[in-house]
């Protein structure tokens, strides 16, 4: 909730997905962690999801049935169990049927396909977000507008299947929030439509702005634009593995064989919250000193920053050169949103520079519980450590609405909500 002061909001800017809310009634959230040991591509992400879902009824037949809702034909989706350099893994291939059309597509064509497809709202929203991220990155690389980007391989059938299939698979796995390790990109060069390019390819580098990269001695392209787009559009954070009770693991295999490491992507799925201790991730801290901006303007900047996806925004009084009073504006944001946040700061304030650094963050495992009070239901946000509740607070908007309905003071309604929560043996 913007302005809540806990710095734990979701990613809400265009082209990025706001994480799903935790299960109600204290059910721990199901989370996924992509361990990009050897990079990531669209087919590796999809294969890892299929591998993790083998015991949950998520197989290639079920996925084919859901993908049929796209209304796009001319291909065959195959999944096979293989050994990739000594590790058991699943590998996915998308084979075009002989004579199948290969139309060139722009972003609007992709949106039209997804909009008219028989897909859930979540899958539709996430798939559009991934393609929008790709279009924005390609547009920056080529100096054009996202709607004018010619998608080349991205608009091809295999990319559509990989992206939409990954979104479907994560929904079928019941994943509510995604995290990702630092990402290795590889080294050397890669051949693409525009000739020989250094690794990471230009679009991949754009997509990974603000994301921690992992050192890797492996040569070649480890992370593709499609893989980078899926992870940066859907992940809530990049860094160490969050605390979880592990339920499933999956391993997706890439096409090539690595020289120094197996070309595999590992997916770990589990429950956060009850018994899972704390969550950990990495956030971006941005600061700017302001000495000639009014309070009204700063209030407007708050709104713009939250709309761009900031997790939290706050100000502190400071003294600047010649003892001039000023304001220190601090923004907490997902690392992948660096460009969007800096754009707001430069456009809406008079600052000439923005400082930034990455900071590790540990958070209480969270859940939302609903209690019944004499003035109606109220949601309680509960923070747990080691499975034990250490913090709880009633949702302000629920309490305000109940106070208005009942005519009772707001603080009395908040007290009633906490009493009801404690009466359940939680406090």
Tell me the two tokens of residue 163: 């992206």
| Whether the predicted pLDDT of 13 surpasses 60 | no
| Whether the predicted pLDDT of 3 surpasses 60 | no
Strand pairing partners for 330?
287, 314
Q: Using DSSP bridges, classify how beta strands 30-35 and 325-333 pair: parallel, antiparallel or unpaired.
A: unpaired
- pLDDT value for 290: 94
Using DSSP, state whether 301 is helix, strand or coil.
Answer: helix
CATH architecture for the domain at 363-423: Roll (3.10)
| Whether the predicted pLDDT of 5 surpasses 60 | no
Predicted confidence band of residue 150 (pLDDT cuts 50, 70, 90): low
Tell me the two tokens of residue 219: 């040569």
- pLDDT value for 27: 57
What is the C-alpha to C-alpha distance for residues 162 and 207, in angstroms, rounded to an integer? 17
Most confident range, picked from 141-155, 164-178, 195-209: 164-178
Beta-carbon neighbour count of residue 163 at 10 Å?
A: 28
Return the H-helix or E-strand segment holding 269: strand 264-271
**Structural domain boundaries of the chain?**
30-271, 280-362, 363-423
Q: What is the DSSP letter of 261?
A: S
**Mean of the pLDDT values across residues 335-348?**
92
Q: Do 280-362 and 363-423 share a fold?
A: no
| Whether the predicted pLDDT of 228 surpasses 70 | yes
Question: How does pLDDT run across 115-134, given as a tens digit for each residue?
Answer: 999 999 999 999 999 999 88
What is the C-alpha to C-alpha distance for residues 189 and 277, in angstroms, rounded to an integer? 43
Length of the chain: 427
Cα Rg of the chain, angstroms:
23
| Whether the predicted pLDDT of 12 surpasses 70 | no
Q: Using DSSP bridges, classify how beta strands 30-35 and 177-180 pair: parallel, antiparallel or unpaired.
A: parallel
Distances from the Cα of 421 to the Cαs of 28, 369, 410, 414, in angstroms? 17, 9, 17, 11
**Mean of the pLDDT values across residues 269-279?**
65
Torsion-angle region of 174 (φ positive above 0: left; ψ -120 to 50: alpha; else: beta) = left
Which candidate, 50, 167, 182, places its Cα nearest to that of 120? 167
- pLDDT value for 59: 87
Predicted confidence band of residue 151 (pLDDT cuts 50, 70, 90): low
- pLDDT value for 197: 82
**Mean of the pLDDT values across residues 71-77?**
87
Q: Is 18 exposed, middle or buried (CB count within 10 Å of its CB: 0-12, 13-18, 19+)?
A: middle
Phi, psi at 299, each rounded to 5° = -60, -40
Task: Kindly provide the residue ranges of all beta strands, DSSP E only, lying in 107-219, ordered along the sequence.
Answer: 177-180, 186-187, 189-192, 195-198
What is the C-alpha to C-alpha distance for residues 383 and 278, in angstroms, rounded to an integer? 9
User: What fold is seen in the domain 280-362?
Assistant: Alpha-Beta Plaits (3.30.70)
Question: How does pLDDT run across 179-197, given as a tens digit for each residue?
Answer: 999 999 988 887 776 678 8
Residue written as token pair 């201790």:
277
- pLDDT value for 426: 57
| Whether the predicted pLDDT of 99 surpasses 80 | no
Averaged confidence pLDDT in the chain: 85
């Amino acid at each position: 909730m913007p302005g809540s002061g806990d710095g734990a909001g979701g990613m809400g800017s265009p082209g990025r997905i706001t994480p799903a809310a935790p299960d109600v009634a204290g059910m721990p959230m199901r989370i996924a962690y992509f361990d990009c040991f050897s990079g990531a591509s669209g087919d590796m992400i999809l294969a890892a999801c299929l591998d993790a879902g083998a015991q949950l009824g998520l197989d290639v037949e079920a996925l084919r049935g859901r993908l049929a809702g796209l209304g796009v034909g001319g291909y065959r989706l195959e999944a096979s169990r293989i050994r990739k350099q000594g590790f058991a893994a699943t590998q996915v291939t998308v084979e075009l049927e002989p004579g199948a059309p290969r139309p060139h597509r722009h972003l609007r064509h992709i949106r039209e396909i997804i909009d008219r497809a028989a897909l859930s709202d979540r899958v539709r929203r996430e798939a559009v977000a991934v393609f929008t991220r790709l279009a924005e990155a390609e547009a920056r690389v080529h100096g054009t507008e996202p709607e004018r980007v010619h998608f080349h391989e991205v608009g091809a059938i295999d990319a559509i299947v990989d992206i939409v299939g990954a979104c479907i698979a994560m929904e079928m796995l019941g994943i509510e929030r995604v995290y990702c390790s630092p990402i290795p990109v590889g080294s050397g060069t890669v051949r693409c439509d525009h000739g020989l390019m250094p690794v990471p390819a230009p679009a991949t580098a754009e997509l990974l702005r603000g994301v921690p990269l992992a050192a890797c001695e492996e040569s070649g392209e480890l992370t593709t634009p499609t893989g980078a787009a899926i992870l940066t559009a859907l992940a809530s954070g990049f860094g160490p593995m969050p605390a979880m009770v592990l339920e499933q693991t999956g391993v997706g295999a890439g096409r090539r064989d690595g020289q120094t490491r197996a070309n595999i992507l590992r997916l770990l799925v589990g429950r956060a919250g009850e018994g899972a201790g704390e969550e950990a991730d990495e956030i971006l801290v941005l600061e700017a000193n302001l000495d000639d901006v009014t309070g009204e303007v700063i209030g407007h900047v708050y709104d713009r920053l939250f709309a761009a996806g900031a997790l939290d925004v706050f100000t502190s009084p400071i003294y600047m050169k010649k003892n001039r009073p000023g304001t220190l504006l601090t923004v907490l944001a997902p690392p992948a949103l660096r460009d969007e946040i800096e754009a707001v700061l430069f456009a809406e304030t008079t600052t000439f520079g923005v400082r930034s650094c990455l900071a590790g963050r540990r958070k209480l495992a969270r859940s939302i519980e609903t209690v019944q009070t004499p003035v109606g239901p109220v949601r309680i946000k509960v923070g747990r450590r080691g499975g034990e509740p250490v913090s709880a607070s009633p949702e302000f908007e629920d309490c305000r609405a109940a106070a208005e309905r009942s005519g009772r003071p707001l603080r009395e309604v908040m007290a009633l909500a906490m009493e009801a929560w404690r009466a359940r043996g939680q406090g």
